[in-house]
A and B are shown apart, each in its own frame.
Chain A
Amino acid sequence: MLLSFAQWVQFTTLFTALRGSANIYPVVLSLHMIGIAFFGGMILMTDLRLLGWALRKRSIAEVINQFRVPKRWGLLLTATCGILMAGSKAEEYYYNVFFRTKLILFAVVIITELVFYRSVYANPAVLDRTPSAPANAKLAAVISMLLWISIACCGRGIGYIEPPLDKIHAQIEVIHDAALRASRGSYSLKGQDHQDVASAN
């Protein structure tokens, strides 16, 4: 089902046009990287503050709250460009192990965000009450850094794999034919072909 969705998505007008243009793709990729610099850089900064390694003179609440807006813009840019790229090669990406891993890591990001949202991100003023952030906030920071760095590396990995779509398609056709033959018998399959020709005529 996911596969047929991927196949459908990449042949929509938008993504077909995107795939066909030689110039737009690298621009989208570049904007994706710039978004990563803005968005990822801010995330690392927030994490470093939670760990108490950077921006120590600034309160945690200040850092988290003030970077929220630039971070969201960065995320919007990165995600939009990411979706544009993934959509234009959706079927290929469906088979790409790095892309799959990246999606799983995104799911993990969402889960950790949900887990730590209330205790860490939603109410950062509480974290400033003690000189050093509580252990769960530091744990959230470490997990966040590891996840986002892995996501960036998986993103790079996607480009290294080019699933042999032609071979996969040929294989699927063979399996499909075999299944047809098994269910109808090879003669009736030929008969079917003749019927098709006859009806076409």
Chain B
Amino acid sequence: MLLLQISSIADALNSSEWVFPIAECFHITAFAWSIGMIAAVDYRLLGFGIKHAKPSEVLRDTAPWTLLGLAVVLLSGPLLFLSDVRMYLHNPSFVFKMYALAAAILFNYTIHRKVAQSDSSSQAVRIVTAVVSLLLWISVVFGGLFIAFA
């Protein structure tokens, strides 16, 4: 039953050759947006970027835009996924990407947020947090790209 529903969604998505590319454009623009905003916080944690502002201020400034970008990413992504569920589920890069994405989002809204909010955290903690954050998001992008090459 579920499979039937999914395949009817897929048919709707595949009925026009424009739906997938347009969803992709939204996906690409929004991921650049949200990861760029997160990177701005990471740059600040690493000691460059907006130096006059505290990390907590950069976080507060960018957080709503990060969330907006992520929302668009998380709406357009499932559209792409639903167009060919079986292919994606059997694609090792896709599976990797999903784990990396879950880890990246979890990290972003727990440790990353906490370290960025606390203006008294040590430089070492900041650097490790920023590097982990950047690496997590980079692996999400790599995972996404390699779906097409797996």
Contacts and interface: CB of A to CB of B under 8 A. Distances in A.
Nearest to A49: B61
Contacts of B43: 70
21 contacts: A25-B149, A27-B142, A29-B145, A30-B145, A33-B144, A34-B138, A37-B137, A37-B141, A40-B32, A41-B35, A41-B37, A41-B40, A44-B32, A44-B36, A54-B61, A58-B52, A66-B48, A67-B50, A70-B39, A153-B28, A156-B21
A62 B62 contact: no
A153 B25 contact: yes
Nearest to A70: B43
A26 B143 CA distance: 10
B57 interface: yes
B65 interface: yes
A48 B40 CA distance: 14
Contacts of A25: 149
Interface of A: 22, 25-27, 29-30, 33-34, 36-42, 44-45, 48, 54-58, 62-63, 66-67, 69-70, 149, 152-153, 155-157, 160
B21 A157 contact: yes
A167 to B, nearest CB: 22
B28 A45 contact: no
A54 B35 contact: no
Interface in B1-33: 21, 24-25, 28-29, 31-33
A146 to B, nearest CB: 11
B29 A152 contact: yes
Contacts of B51: 66
A18 to B, nearest CB: 15
Contact of A37 (B25, B36, B64): B36
Contact of B65 (A26, A30, A34, A48): A48
B53 interface: yes
Interface residues of B, number: 35
Nearest to A149: B29
B29 A67 contact: no
A36 B28 contact: yes
Contacts of A57: 53, 57, 61
B86 to A, nearest CB: 22
B32 A37 contact: yes
B21 A37 contact: no
Nearest to A157: B21
B27 to A, nearest CB: 9
B77 interface: no
B71 to A, nearest CB: 15
A54 B148 CA distance: 35
Interface in B30-77: 31-37, 39-40, 43, 48-53, 57, 61-62, 64-65
A56 to B, nearest CB: 8
A25 B149 CA distance: 10
A152 B43 CA distance: 23
Nearest to B137: A37
B53 to A, nearest CB: 6
B88 interface: no
Contacts of B37: 41, 45
A26 B145 contact: yes
Contacts of A67: 40, 49-50
Q: Which 5 A-B pairs have the closest CB atoms?
A: A41-B36, A37-B35, A40-B32, A153-B25, A30-B145
